[in-house]
Amino acid sequence: MSPAVYIIYIVVDATRNINRDRYASQKTGGQTMNNNSTGVYLGMDVSEKSIELFALSADNKTESKGKIVNNPAKIKAFLAGLKNTSKLTVALETGTHSPWLSKMLEEHDCKVLVGHARKLRAIWGDDHKCDQRDAEMLARIARMYPKLLHPIKHVSQEVRAEQAVIKARDVLVKTSTMLINHLRGTLRSFGISTSEIPTTSMHSKLMPLVPKELRPALRGVVKQLKEVRMQIKEYDKKLTELCKKHQETKILQQLNGVGPVTAITFALIIADPRRFSGAGRVGSYLGLTPKRDQSGEVDKQLGITKSGNGMLRKHLVKSANYIMGPFGIDCELRRYGERIAAKGGKIARRKAKVAVARKLAVTMWRLWIDEAEYDPFFKEHQRQKKKAARVAA
């Protein structure tokens, strides 16, 4: 029997429960004994080639397993064979296929829960983990308490396409760094220092320093580096165009150390600043808040959670590094980091950079919400105004 037939059976069985509950509701004056006894929960564990299925009725009395090919045409055919898909709740994990798959399921009137994969310890921490058990666990959690899935909502296809530009540039920057490190390391082993050559001009100024015996080995690497640097410049132009499209980036770039790349990345990842109820939520969303492991009298000091978008977190830390570096201007953010770094040691300075990155994200969010002009000494000026008001009174 095909997976679709199995699911149809459960959906039909659930429909009978719906009709039965409606009849019971009429007999009891509109009150049903169990509002959770209707509908079907379908867990999908998605891999590159196939999708494991586990269907569970809301009353937990009927269940079935199945497997389909991970192909848009096959999935559409599977969904077309189902009945009453509006009563179907589908649970799947975040992953490469979750954006387009969740969209397709919603277009077929299914309720979709996309669980946060990193927070589903009940699945990835299972001692007997397998695809079929994963699908079953997704269905059971969706039925029991959907909040345990930590469900997320994918952004639109247009926004994902814009984010792809940033990701592509990021890949090229990493490639450039790898090529430069290879060139520097190889030449260093021959006693040649390249510390005086800027990273941005390495591809044009390096070859005269390369010994004759090394040129056959490094000429191709230098050529690739030149091509990569040219492509990075092209992507920088694309990001500039995106900044013109997203006017909020002008507000974000008021801060010293926040350039077009950080600003557009922040704008596209956050998308809607009003979805956060408070400033503290922003740092937590970006994984810049400390982990917590407290039990009784023990409360351990741990590193940051590193949840959320790693690329944006990396750009924020880079901006924080600039703010605290030799080219950063005096401001409250810099002073805040210096107070933390003054506690001593390299660890304190690293913690200071992360703390500044968190405070920077909150400041950017607040400026975006208020559409305000950035004041580098906002808190100090507020205290002065309050003091002046008290004196005047």
What's the number of CA atoms in the CB half-sphere (13 Å) around residue 85?
A: 17
Confidence at residue 10, expressed as pLDDT on a 0 to 100 scale: 53
Confidence at residue 2, expressed as pLDDT on a 0 to 100 scale: 56
Confidence at residue 36, expressed as pLDDT on a 0 to 100 scale: 44
- Check if the beta carbon of residue 307 is closer than 8 Å to that of residue 118: yes
Residue for token digits 């509908």?
Answer: 39
Q: What is the pTM of this model?
A: 0.81
Q: DSSP letters of 84-151?
A: -GGGEEEEEE-SSSHHHHHHHHHHTT-EEEEE-GGG-HHHHT-TT--HHHHHHHHHHHHHH-GGGG--
Copy the structure tokens of residue 391.
Answer: 């004196």
Low-confidence ranges of the chain (pLDDT < 70): 1-38
Confidence at residue 30, expressed as pLDDT on a 0 to 100 scale: 39
